[in-house]
């Protein structure tokens, strides 16, 4: 059985080809399964020895690739990457079954054995096998062919396959995060559009900081970003194709447009437009350019977000007095309020899985990244601080990234992530101050 993924990523006019091939047979049902819907109090111990290579020049790369995978698994919160210093068995060849008992002794529940081979002057072949130590069998075996300088992506792809084999869920490691890079003090912030790998590597600035840029969002289906730019007297939403570098001002609206969100197929956009001081939500068909007004009243209507099936929209409105969450049909009909708790609700974003809506709750001077079911039930705060805001989902709907700003004169922004369960709160590494993160889809 054979599976091919071919992708072309030419964001910086660099073409990359990566082939994914299954090595030998794959067991259909993994014995070792991890339920990621519950809070995982005991992360699963996984051993990822440095990838082997017969070529001494590739031995550093073998360490680096294993390290990327270990870090990915560890940051997911679902796994502990065991320290290689404690490993009892040193494999010299990944094509033999490991000595399971020597891995059981150190309590490894899964083992990732990998190898790097130089395929040609600029291509690598990366192979790995994932072993279920307690069942004593191989879960997956795979081969990637990648350009030398794309080895991190191969490690992320491997991480996604491991995550999928162990959890049954699609991973999110071979993906990127677009965000706002911030420079300067609180009273003089320079904000630029930036992008990086989900693990914080490969940061690139996409604008030069001369214009205020806010609230980028990634297309769920393409390497495209929408964001708010203050480059003209009337700030508006722009679309940037990061593969071609082409930038387009979206729509021809008489007022300021902001708060853009893609539909899950990437063909439509929700945004808010200000007319006469009043903000209302519009949908914009990106193919036809046609715009439809979806709210029409004198209250603040902002931050519309489509359900994954595109049939419904969650949005933020203060039509009932304080800002709360409302749901309407995608044609603007049947508006109903879903949040009824104390405090102020804002910035809803529908999970790509459809089961949850993430939002910001403000209560007693604190701000929380929270989740609620689309029917308004099961509201839960996942975080709390002086200012947590701007939630955005990982492509598999299991992790939320957001901005956290510290209090006071020297207050600054950073990017954090938290699991849907509220566990595994972590700061995401960025080169400097950063805000407004948004996750890309998995790279093809």
Partner 1 sequence: MNIKPFAISFSILALSACASQPPVQPAPPPPPPVVEAPVIVEEAPAPVIQEPVVEEIVLPKLPTPGSLEDFIMSSGGDTRVYFDYDQYSLTDSAVASLRAQSSWLKTYTDVNVIIEGNADERGTREYNLALGARRAESVSSFMVGLGVSPTQINVVSYGKERPIDARSNEDGWSLNRNANTKIMSGTVN
Binding status of residue 303 toward partner 1 by CB under 8 A: yes
- Beta carbon of residue 215, minimum distance to partner 1 (angstroms, whole number): 6
Q: Given candidates 21, 23, 106, 214, which one binds partner 1 under the rule CB under 8 A?
A: 214
Task: Specify the residue, 223 or 347, whose C-beta has the smaller distance to partner 1.
Answer: 347
Residue of the chain from 37, 234, 329, 373 that contacts partner 1 (CB under 8 A): 234
Q: How far is the CB of 105 from partner 1 (least distance, A)?
A: 51
Q: How far is the CB of 436 from partner 1 (least distance, A)?
A: 7
Cβ proximity to partner 1: between 342 and 375 the closer is: 342
Q: Does 313 bind partner 1 (CB under 8 A)?
A: no
Q: Are 170 and 51 in contact (CB under 8 A)?
A: no
**Whether 184 contacts 190, CB under 8 Å:** yes
CB of 192 to partner 1, least distance (A): 14
Q: How far is the CB of 42 from partner 1 (least distance, A)?
A: 35
Q: Does 146 bind partner 1 (CB under 8 A)?
A: no
Query: Whose structure tokens read 């990998």?
Result: 114
Which residues within the stretch 369-398 sit at the binding site for partner 1 (CB under 8 A)? Answer: 386-387, 389-390
Q: Does 250 bind partner 1 (CB under 8 A)?
A: no
Contacts of 369 by beta carbon, 8 Å cutoff, 6+ apart: 358, 359, 360, 381, 382, 383, 388, 389, 391, 400, 402, 418
Site string for partner 1, 93-132 (x = CB under 8 A): ----------------------------------------
Q: How far is the CB of 367 from partner 1 (least distance, A)?
A: 7
Distance, in Å, from the CA atom of 116 to the CA atom of 66, rounded to the nearest integer, reads 11
Smallest gap from residue 101 Cβ to partner 1 (A): 54
Q: Which of 374, 436, 438, 440 binds partner 1 (CB under 8 A)?
A: 436
Comparing CB distances to partner 1, the nearer of 58 and 401 is 401
Rule CB under 8 A: say whether 210 interacts with partner 1: no
Report in angstroms how near the CB of residue 225 gets to partner 1 at its nearest: 17
Spell out the SS3 assignment of 138-162. Answer: EEEEEEEEEEHHHHHHHHHHHHHHH
Question: Of these, 250, 256, 286, 357, which contacts partner 1 (CB under 8 A)?
Answer: 256
Q: Shortest distance, CB of residue 194 to partner 1, whole angstroms?
A: 17
x/- contact string, 334-373, with partner 1 (CB under 8 A)?
----------x-xx------------x-x--x-x------
Are 384 and 361 contacting, i.e. CB atoms less than 8 angstroms apart? no
Rounded alpha-carbon distances, angstroms, from residue 162 to 47, 132, 226? 12, 11, 32
Does residue 296 belong to the site contacting partner 1 (CB under 8 A)?
no
- CA-closest candidate to residue 143, choices 28, 49, 20, 289: 20
Q: Give me the residues that bind partner 1 (CB under 8 A), please.
A: 185-187, 189, 191, 212, 214-215, 228, 230, 233-235, 256, 258-259, 272, 274, 276-279, 300, 302-303, 316, 323, 344, 346-347, 360, 362, 365, 367, 386-387, 389-390, 405, 407-411, 436
């Amino acid at each position: 059985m054979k599976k091919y993924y071919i992708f072309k990523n030419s964001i910086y006019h660099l073409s990359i080809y990566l082939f994914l091939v299954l090595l030998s047979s794959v067991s259909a049902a993994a014995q070792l399964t991890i339920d990621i819907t519950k809070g995982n109090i005991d992360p699963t111990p996984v051993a990822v020895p440095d990838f082997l290579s017969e070529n001494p020049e590739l031995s550093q790369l073998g360490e680096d690739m294993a390290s990327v995978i270990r870090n990915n698994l560890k940051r997911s919160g679902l796994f502990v990457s065991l320290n290689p210093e404690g490993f009892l068995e040193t494999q010299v060849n990944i094509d033999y079954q490991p000595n399971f008992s020597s891995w059981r002794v150190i309590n490894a529940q899964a083992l990732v054995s990998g190898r790097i081979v130089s395929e040609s002057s600029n291509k690598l072949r990366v192979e790995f096998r994932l072993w279920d130590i307690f069942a004593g069998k191989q879960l997956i075996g795979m081969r990637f062919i990648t350009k030398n300088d794309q080895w991190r992506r191969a490690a992320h792809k491997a991480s996604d396959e491991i995550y999928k084999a162990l959890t049954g869920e699609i991973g999110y490691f071979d993906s990127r995060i677009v965000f706002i890079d911030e420079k300067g003090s609180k009273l003089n912030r320079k904000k630029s559009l930036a992008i990086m790998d989900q693990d914080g590597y490969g940061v690139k600035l996409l604008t030069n900081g001369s214009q205020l840029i806010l609230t980028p969002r990634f297309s769920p289906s393409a390497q495209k970003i929408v964001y708010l730019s203050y480059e003209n007297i009337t700030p508006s939403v722009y679309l940037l194709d990061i593969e071609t570098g082409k930038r387009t001002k979206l729509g021809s609206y008489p007022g300021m447009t902001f708060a853009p969100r893609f539909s899950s197929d990437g063909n439509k956009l929700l945004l808010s437009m200000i007319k006469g001081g009043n903000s209302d939500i519009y949908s914009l068909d990106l193919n036809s350019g046609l715009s439809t007004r979806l709210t029409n009243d004198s209250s603040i209507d902002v931050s519309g977000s489509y359900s994954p099936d595109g049939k419904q929209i969650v949005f933020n409105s203060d039509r009932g007095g304080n800002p709360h969450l409302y749901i309407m049909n995608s044609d603007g009909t049947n508006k109903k309020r879903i949040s009824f708790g104390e405090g102020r609700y804002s910035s809803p974003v529908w999970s790509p899985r459809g089961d949850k809506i993430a939002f910001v709750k403000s209560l007693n001077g604190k701000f929380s990244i929270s989740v609620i079911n689309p029917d308004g039930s099961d509201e839960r705060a996942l975080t709390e601080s002086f200012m947590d805001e701007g939630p955005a989902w990982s492509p598999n709907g299991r992790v939320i990234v957001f901005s956290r700003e510290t209090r006071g004169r020297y207050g600054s922004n950073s990017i954090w992530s938290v699991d849907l369960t509220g566990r595994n709160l972590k700061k995401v590494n960025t080169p400097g101050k950063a805000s407004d993160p948004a996750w890309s889809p998995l790279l093809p």
